[in-house]
Structure 1
């Protein structure tokens, strides 16, 4: 062995030191990348078929991510694309899927009362003796802005039941749901980013200064008061601002935009700007009249095709689809 030779044991140590360090995190990322590749291959085939919802049709990337997201919730790929819906860039679950996940983990959720005005469930986490009560009423749904959905008038028991299922599942199985919320809950949010941040509330506008006339005190009781300022003409009152859209109208508009495939903020605002003919930077800019026209236009029955039937997309938007 010469002076420059490196002992075999030392050389092995140097080789090991120069090798990439495989941690659990890097191995996990490699696994995720492999799973995403497999999901994309599957998504590329199925997203062109009628077996996926309209919002994933011909979108292999989004379909693949939905499958992968569902995999973290232990959902089969095809169940994931039917159960996950993206609202304002946030993945959400339908109430029935949330209910099914909670039951699959051994938690208990039961309906104990159901009328057209009130539905009551009880729920308890696996291994816990005490039950927790979940109640939804038409009054509560109205206050929250949900009843702008026509289905609350057509099927109140069914809609209140779905609200109870979602809330009960979140109550007893937040870990199994990975903190996800229901589609309807997120649809109530506006397109404004401030709805999803801790941005400070806007300062209230300063009150308008009232016009005053300074009067000097009379030098003697018998003398009249002296007015040092000449009376000014009354300032004309500002024309009242046009009434803005109500919360119920905005909620309905968000649902309509979601059905149109414009649930993302930019797409939704572009749709509203195109409809009103002016730049809309937030859906709260809409006036009550504009909101009414948008909703009325969306709910106007679309023209039928040459066979007298609606297309699948038109039927879905009109709320008559049986899918």
Structure 2
């Protein structure tokens, strides 16, 4: 991708407020012309549009070049380079690849600044658990190494141009977030107070009516009651036997 990702005029349709932005996100996400990751996902579409606006991209450019991976906006490796090349402080970039060691090298610099170099090799990919990973790492290993070296070098020198974005390729390799909140164990039945016999008898006819009317099953009644109080075995069986006597007769 060349540096033609620069800001464009013409029919850009830039929303002026949140209402217009949400309306546009709904419209675009319902189109078959946007990437599948955004189809029928207006919230993700809006996030990409907002991030694109910070980078100077119109909504369509943003949707074509920004991806939301695990809830985090990221940008395609080629688009990352195009954005940096359009930055007013861009000085230059040189990329190379060593076939003998399978090492990608990227050197980038700002105008009047020192050159900054980053490398990423097959050995680095193995350490990160990426080498021979199913997908692009197996199909296009050289390109993935190049994207990783480029991403590190460019982000180090042009954080102001990227607003914290990482490459989509890097985002896809990150482990998915997991909920590590300790699970609350359900209250033990033994910790509940016993259902008073007189209260049980007073409610039994109402439960029986629900079962006979087909609105609840005995098992549903039992689950509801046991969530609030501990039943004796005799009370449990009485609920479970609702309707059985008539059926047996």
Partner of residue 224, structure 2 = none
The superposition leaves residues 91-136 of structure 1 with CA deviations (integer Å, 9 ceiling, x where unpaired) of 22222222221111042222133437122121112321x2111111
Partner of residue 134, structure 1 = 118
Q: Which runs of 5+ in 1 are unaligned?
A: 1-32, 195-323
Find 2:143's aligned residue among 158, 172, 183: 158
Q: Which runs of 5+ in 2 are unaligned?
A: 1-14, 181-249
The aligned length equals 163
In structure 2, relative to structure 1, the CA distance for the partners of 1:38 and 1:127 (3 Å cut) is: farther
Partner of residue 113, structure 1 = 97
Deviation at 1:71, TM superposition (A): 0.3
Deviation at 1:184, TM superposition (A): 3.4
TM-score (norm 2): 0.58
Partner of residue 167, structure 1 = 152
1:123 aligns with 2:105: no
The superposition leaves residues 182-222 of structure 1 with CA deviations (integer Å, 9 ceiling, x where unpaired) of 2333332342367xxxxxxxxxxxxxxxxxxxxxxxxxxxx
Deviation at 1:160, TM superposition (A): 1.2
Deviation at 1:72, TM superposition (A): 0.7
Deviation at 1:53, TM superposition (A): 1.3
Q: Contact between 2:105 and 2:150, CA under 8 Å: does it hold in 1?
A: no
Structure with more contact order per residue of length (Cα contacts < 8 Å, sep ≥ 6): 2
Partner of residue 143, structure 1 = 127
1:85 aligns with 2:67: yes
Partner of residue 76, structure 2 = 94
Deviation at 1:170, TM superposition (A): 0.2
Superposition pairs for residues 247-266 of structure 1, below 5 Å?
none
Question: What is the CA–CA distance in structure 1 between the aligned matches of 2:65 and 2:80, rounded to whole Å?
Answer: 9
1:40 aligns with 2:25: no
Superposition pairs for residues 265-276 of structure 1, below 5 Å?
none
Question: What is the CA–CA distance in structure 2 between the aligned matches of 1:34 and 1:49, rounded to whole Å?
Answer: 21
1:191 aligns with 2:177: yes
RMSD of equivalent CA atoms: 2.6
